[in-house]
Structure 1
Amino acid sequence: MLFIDNNLTNPYFNLATEEYLLKNFNEDVFMLWRNEPSIIVGKNQNTLSEINYEYVKEKSIPVVRRLTGGGAVFHDLGNINFTFISTDDSKSFTNFRKFTQPIIDVLKELNINAEFTGRNDLTIEGKKFSGNAQCNYKNKVMHHGTLLFTSVINDISSALKVKPTKFEGKGIKSVASRVTNISDHLKTPITILEFKDMIMKHVSKMNDNYSVYELSEEDLGNIKKLYDEKYNTWQWNYGSSPKYSLVNEVKFSGGNLEFYLNVEKGKITEIKIFGDFFGKANVSDIESLLIGEEHNEEVIEAALSNINIDDYIAGAIVEDIVKGLM
């Protein structure tokens, strides 16, 4: 087994690293890593329905889609991520306990009673500190999980909070749960890096045939290519969302606006705008203009930049329309 202590904290790069290791290495891999503040959404989720878009935009929080299913999670430097990539024995894909037991064992050494609960969570005193997910590739299974150690819990709830009635669709929804930090349950304080070292040492004891692996310049170049072409693109992170509908309402200086739209493969297929507004021109012109455009703030702004919104919705500006559509 190859052991990789990844000290890079760019979420786009780290998710690309996982895919690169899964698809290009024959050896089993264990990797520990952390991300700067970011939201990581499951492969089958509608990204916009999982995030507090205004908060994410204001805080410039990266949003990245991963290869595995499951729900959206918030990462920061107070959270450790662990990844196992191993040959699939035909039982591993449904055996979450196999990959999470080492974490439970490490916490036991710290006199913390952690439990595997539900489908894919680890809890302490009934509160979640770890969510886990898996995927298959050929004869390999990749399992990864989060470990909240000193994460900012308020940021988690703020970044993932979204109006429940705003979106409808087939995307997998995250399930809200009470969360806790591991550090809150320690009898004797340790740092997150000390905890990270404990995990690495424990897993190494479980694997006699292991070696520490440093990503080569060739590895880094290939990962950067995957980062540029996939993980740092709107199409992967937002456009790959399942078909969905959005219903939203905003107030502006001239009254109220209601927005209804359908999105498929990341592009607007249907849109209707209603409200108690006045306008000289027909609002259907705006609707027609946006059909076929990406459900992307910058794209929508560009499409509306060449028309006078006030002619269609008196008192409104482009920002009002964009807010309603996002």
Structure 2
Amino acid sequence: MLIRTALNPCVNPHLRTLTSLAQEGGRGLVLKSLSTDVYENLALEDWIHDHVDLQSRTLLLLWKNTPAVVIGRHQNPWQECNLRLMRDRGVALARRRSGGGTVYHDLGNINMTFFTSRKKYDRVRNLRVVTSALQQLRPGLDVRATERFDILLNGGYKISGTAAKLGRVSAYHHCTLLCGSDRSLLSAVLRSSCQGIQSNATPSVPSPVKNLQDEDPSLDCRAVMDAVAAEYSAQYGLDHRVSDIDPTDEISLPGIRRMAQDLKTWEWVYGKTPKFSVRSGFEVRDGSSSSSAALRMGVRNGLIESCRVELPADWLPAALCDELAAQLIGGRFCPGETAVLTAAVLRTCPQGSEIRNKWNILCDSVAAVM
């Protein structure tokens, strides 16, 4: 039986499609997502983990996303990526429910999720599926898994990273595989633009990366996905068949849309960041007049819980610095909300153009930290 008791297909006839796939798959199943939306695909992972009985079968999900940065559950996005560049380039930010480090996804990157019972969870075997598949495509290709459960090409270039979620009875292990990703954008968005952050969040470990297509142009996403599906089926004794699945199908996957929406919320993506502090110094300049400023903040659940802005009183009155700090406390640590809050204070500023100019410069500098 695929669906747990609460979702028994005898009770809900709309679940027959997914159930019949599992019954036809017998001991295992290979699925390929029809979506390229990062939130929909992450929701599909969690739906399968939460609702599918994996005690007597295994399942492989293959999926790709349009450009996105995906951080681990316990990471700090301000430390991990260039949020300003991502906003400018339309690169989505998502927080997954597994641990591990930050990865960049685009349509040149494959994602693979191996589902099993917790007792049968085996990352070594899963990575062997991937490396064996690649070597079937190109005999002699130098790909091997590391003790960190990454996959290296030619001994020094990372082409795959790993993360996992272990539930009470079920588990999944997912990994990436670089085939033909935009490496220049990957490098740019995975470089933090925020300075002065102090945090105990899980840091990513930078590594040199390479695409498989840099080694062999024939190793494109379609060929590699087909090879991984074939190798997985061979190792688990399954019929070599890949079934498409639509993660927006609310009839077959009840609750899936709400799960995807939850993954998009600010409270999840940013608000789940472990507590951190900011200690940043910067220069503010208004024409020929300049000064050094200091910013001290404490941030919990993505919200500013303490703030202090320090500037010489002869550049900007201390009362205005204190007013700025007071306005920011309780707000989100993000430039959009900061702009709204500082605009409210601007209306109370003295009308002199010099003070207003300096105030705007200070506010822009504070927002740039975010």
TM-score normalised to structure 1 length: 0.90
Q: CA RMSD in A?
A: 2.3
Paired positions, count? 321
Paired residues for 1:1-326 under 5 Å: 1-27=28-54, 28-89=58-119, 92=121, 95-109=122-136, 110-111=138-139, 112-125=141-154, 126-162=156-192, 166-186=196-216, 189-209=218-238, 212=243, 214-215=245-246, 216-219=249-252, 222-228=255-261, 230-254=262-286, 255=290, 256-276=292-312, 277-279=315-317, 281-308=319-346, 311=350, 314-317=357-360, 320-326=364-370
Distance in 2 (alpha carbons) for counterparts of 1:247 and 1:36: 35
* 3-state SS, counterpart of residue 270 of structure 2: helix
Contact 2:84 2:193 in 1 (8 A): no
Distance 1:62 1:8 in 2: 15
1:68-120: CA deviations, max 9, x gaps? 1111111111100000111111x63xx42121110010111112121111312
| Distance in 2 separating the partners of 1:296 and 1:259 | 15
Q: Which amino acid aligns with 2:332?
A: E
Question: CA shift at 1:322, angstroms?
Answer: 4.7
| d(CA) in 1 for partners of 2:104, 2:175 | 12
The alpha-carbon deviation at position 161 of structure 1 amounts to 0.6
Q: How far, CA to CA, are the matches of 2:343 and 2:211 in structure 1? A: 46
| Superposition deviation, residue 250 in structure 1 | 4.2
User: Gapped runs of 5+ residues in structure 2?
Assistant: 1-27
TM norm structure 2: 0.80
Aligned-partner SS, 2:161: strand
Q: Are residues 4 and 322 of structure 1, via their aligned partners in 2, closer, same or farther at CA, if it must alter by over 3 Å?
A: farther
- Unaligned runs of 5+ residues in structure 1 are none
1: CA distance between counterparts of 2:340 and 2:253? 35
Taking the aligned partners of 1:227 and 1:252, their CA distance within structure 2 comes to 42
% same residue: 24
Per the alignment, do residues 160 and 98 of structure 1 end up closer, same or farther by CA in structure 2, a change over 3 Å counting?
same
The one-letter code matched in structure 1 to 2:255 is N
Do the aligned partners of 1:278 and 1:314 also contact (CA within 8 Å) in 2? no
- Give the match for residue 7 of structure 2: none
Task: Determine the C-alpha separation between the residues in 1 that align with 2:233 and 2:186.
Answer: 31
Equivalent residues of 1:252, 1:316 under 8 A apart: no
One-letter amino acid of the counterpart of residue 290, structure 1:
L
2:134 is paired with a residue of what secondary structure? helix
Deviations 1:188-221 (A, max 9, x none): 6243212211111221222334673634542455
Specify the SS of the correspondent of 1:316.
helix
Structure 1, residues 113-136: CA drift from partner, whole Å, max 9, x if none? Answer: 211113121001111000001111
Query: What SS class does the counterpart of residue 317 from structure 1 fall into?
Result: helix
